[in-house]
Chains A and B, each alone.
Chain A
Amino acid sequence: MKFVRNVFSQLHTFVLWALFSALFWSWIFTMTTDVPAAEKVTLYCYVPEISDTELAVRLEETKPDGIKKIKVHSFEYVMFDVEFIESGDLFIIPESMIEEYRELLLDPDSGVKIYDAASGSGSACGYIGYGGEDCYLFLGAHSVHIEDGCAKAVADALLSLG
């Protein structure tokens, strides 16, 4: 009883500590797991389901020279910070959304079909749940890995996944 009374008398301190702890370590982990744009290839996927960690680990197995990390995010990851997504190197976008995100894509008219809804076949189906629409893979318009070929190399690796 005394323990419960004591805890409630300092509840604000315990809540503040939990918040501080979560924010501080999230920041530390972001700092330790992130690298500059020149050393990573980032893939954004506009899909209903994605095993982002597993896909990133799989793609890192064949990462090009000079690349330290492969980042995979769903569009929801950046829904409140659109500027973030503009630096994406690769995009997987369903056919109906291509017009909306046209500005992000290097060549919006020549995406590679990564998923065919009619046959239900595509690449990386073990990691990505595409939904009921054809999806296309694009290079990012603002990618820093077009000239060095790293974005293309990761795209090829992605397309080769079963």
Chain B
Amino acid sequence: MPESILEIFTDADTERLRKKIKLWIIALCIAAAAALAVCSVLAATVTTANAESSEFRTIIISTLSGWVIIYCAVFVVGSARRELAHSETLSEGERERVEGKVTVTRERLRIKKSVCARGVEVETPSGAVHFWVVESKAAKLKDARAVYAVHGYVAAYEVAK
């Protein structure tokens, strides 16, 4: 039966990640500038009568906007950056082909400052071989008949045409 090789990260995926990172950085910079502008206006227009309330408002605005920006920077931009770096590593490494029944396991790996991964087992005639796949792409392996792995991570897979 003819088979086709599909990449875990397609060119469109990496392009989409690059675009997402760029747009989020622009949005976060605008949000930070807006929060700073509001706080600066409050500080510049302070009088004896409104000093306490203005200071309180400024600290609340600065803290909350900072929290939102930190959250998005770490968990949206950071996550996309890690996925992009991972996709680049997969595209550059030497690939090892393993054929057999492919199963995504419940095993989950969360590497610090890297991607979240799910376990993958390929049952070959000589025994089961274990790999990892990026969690967001794990569903792609549903119909896989063989995988191509780089440094223990699935980089591509084969499906029946």
Contact = CB atoms under 8 A, between A and B. Distances in A.
Interface of A: 6-7, 10, 13-14, 17-18, 21-22, 24-26, 28-29, 32-33, 53, 56-57, 60, 69-70
Contacts of B51: 29, 33, 53
A21 B62 contact: yes
Nearest to A14: B67
Given A18-B67, A56-B48, A60-B48, 8 more contacts: A6-B71, A6-B74, A17-B66, A29-B46, A32-B43, A32-B44, A53-B48, A70-B48
- Sort A-B residue pairs by CB-CB distance and give the 7 closest, nearest first: A21-B62, A29-B55, A21-B63, A17-B66, A57-B49, A25-B58, A18-B63
Interface of B: 39, 43-44, 46, 48-49, 51-52, 54-55, 58-59, 62-63, 66-67, 70-71, 74-75
A33 B51 CA distance: 8
Contacts of A14: 67, 70
Contacts of B54: 29
Contacts, number: 57
A26 B62 contact: no
Contacts of A28: 43, 58
Contacts of B58: 25, 28-29
A10 B70 contact: yes
A25 B48 contact: no
A13 B70 contact: yes
Majority DSSP secondary structure for residues of A touching B: helix
A29 B51 CA distance: 8
A69 B48 CA distance: 8
Contacts of A29: 43, 46, 51, 54-55, 58
A17 B63 contact: yes
Interface centre among A7, A53, A69, by most chain B C-beta atoms within 10 angstroms, is: A53
Nearest to B51: A33
A53 B52 contact: yes
Nearest to B39: A25
A24 B66 CA distance: 13
24 contacts: A6-B74, A7-B71, A10-B70, A10-B71, A13-B70, A18-B63, A18-B66, A18-B67, A21-B62, A21-B63, A22-B63, A24-B62, A25-B58, A28-B58, A29-B51, A29-B54, A29-B55, A32-B44, A32-B46, A53-B48, A53-B51, A56-B48, A57-B48, A57-B49
